[in-house]
Chain A
């Protein structure tokens, strides 16, 4: 049974860096694609980026190069960093898994709310 679990601070100050981790159990992250999606309060879903082991990383251009996704195979987890955050980055952040080829998310974490505020 695959499980994903997000962790990290729930409050980040403006201009600082948001850092989240997603712990994966039940499958090795060497397989599959792993990504981050966020949802601003009352809004729709926005993909942030995704990565797979040994492959290139794709990011949503709207993040303007502020996002970084990295896999840690020793811990079977992957991380998200978003630099220079503003209030617009306040959202629930989800980590998710996709099979290769077509990118569709079949396993999700429960989501972690992050607020950007001083």
Chain B
């Protein structure tokens, strides 16, 4: 089975910091990758699909890159509302999620 591995599992950062989260697929998934943000008690929100396409309404400080097996989500300047858990998800026929990365306040 294809597996999605995120790292780190958590990161401590301050407002204004640049934050990078990585996601590795156990096999080539082309650019079939999505990123989500989830806050406690809420449903996830789609941030990026197709590895690098920003979903409607998502701030431009979020960006995604990568292809094949290695992908990155970058928040260029962390804002207070960005403290949350982030998940990657392969977007092919078996849409498995990564384990999540919690962005915490330093």
Contact = CB atoms under 8 A, between A and B. Distances in A.
B93 interface: yes
A91 to B, nearest CB: 13
Interface stretch (A15-23, A66-74, A103-111): A103-111
B78 interface: no
Contact of B100 (A44, A58, A60): A44
A46 B44 contact: no
B32 interface: yes
Contacts of B100: 44-45
Interface residues of B, number: 25
Contacts of B94: 47, 58, 60
A46 B46 CA distance: 15
A54 interface: no
B24 to A, nearest CB: 15
A58 B95 CA distance: 10
B50 A105 contact: no
A49 to B, nearest CB: 10
A104 B91 contact: yes
A106 B92 contact: no
A26 interface: no
Interface string A92-118: 001010100011111011110000000
A96 to B, nearest CB: 8
Given A45-B87, A47-B95, A102-B50, A109 B32 contact: no
Nearest to A45: B97
Contact of A102 (B91, B96, B98): B91
B22 interface: no
Contact of B92 (A60, A103, A108, A109): A103
B46 to A, nearest CB: 5
Given A45-B100, A47-B89, A47-B94, 11 more contacts: A44-B87, A45-B38, A46-B97, A47-B96, A102-B49, A102-B92, A104-B46, A105-B95, A106-B46, A106-B55, A108-B45
Q: Which 7 A-B pairs have the closest CB atoms?
A: A108-B43, A104-B34, A102-B91, A45-B97, A103-B95, A104-B49, A44-B100
